[in-house]
Amino acid sequence: MNYLRIIESEDLHMKEKEFKNVRWGDIYYCDLGVTNGSVQSGMRPVLVVQTNRLNESSPTVVVAAITAVKKKTAMNTHIELNTDCGLKEPSMVMLEQLRTVDKATELDNFVGRITDADKISEIKRGLKFAVGIPVKPKTERKGIVLSLCPRCRSEFQSIPENIVKRLDPFQADKEVCDKCQVGYGYDYMIFKKHHHHAKGGVDNV
């Protein structure tokens, strides 16, 4: 019996080490168990939405349920996902259905990761809406919102056509960089400069 406990303890330790590198934007399979009503249940993909600062040390992680049944897609918290992130079929993450799960005992196989900058920005806006954090109206200029560390911010600023501005000058907490997924930085709005023509026309480039 003691040998079985040792084996179980070693297996759990291995899983804890494996899931220590869980990152924001990762997709895993997870058994959400039996639930009531409209709460998502059973074995399904989930999206990691917990900040990487906590992911590095916490034994638990906050995830959002993913479903292949796309309903009420106009909701701010329902974000459509394609198969480019590892999912078997086009799906939808439900950011109002958040769950705290144990990394070692409840997370299962790794599926993929959200890497598209526009999709990351869309998910972050949906999360803010879900938990009641004010969301600024989308700018009329076509742009994207990214969290950038100083090095990656400098890369965007080095491109002459880019305008890079802090989204919220009062943002205190740094977030993981959306580009390199290693450094930490603030949220920036990135858009292209307007080009004015002799006839008075304005084009976005």
Q: Kindly list the averaged pLDDT for each block of 10 residues, start to end, along the chain of length 205.
A: 52 54 93 76 89 90 93 89 94 95 92 90 92 71 83 93 86 87 90 57 33
Q: For the chain, what's the residue count?
A: 205
pLDDT of residue 21: 83
Q: Which residues contact 190 (CB under 8 A, 6 or more apart)?
A: 143, 144, 145, 146, 156, 162, 163, 164
pLDDT of residue 107: 93
In the chain, which ranges are continuous DSSP H helix?
A: 2-18, 52-55, 103-106, 117-130, 150-157
| Rounded alpha-carbon distances, angstroms, from residue 188 to 116, 127, 164, 192 | 16, 17, 6, 13
* Fold of domain 2-115: SH3 type barrels. (2.30.30)
| Burial status of residue 24 (CB atoms within 10 A of its CB: 0-12, 13-18, 19 or more) | buried
User: Whole-prediction pTM value?
Assistant: 0.62
Domain with CATH 2.30.30.110 in the chain: 2-115
pLDDT of residue 191: 84
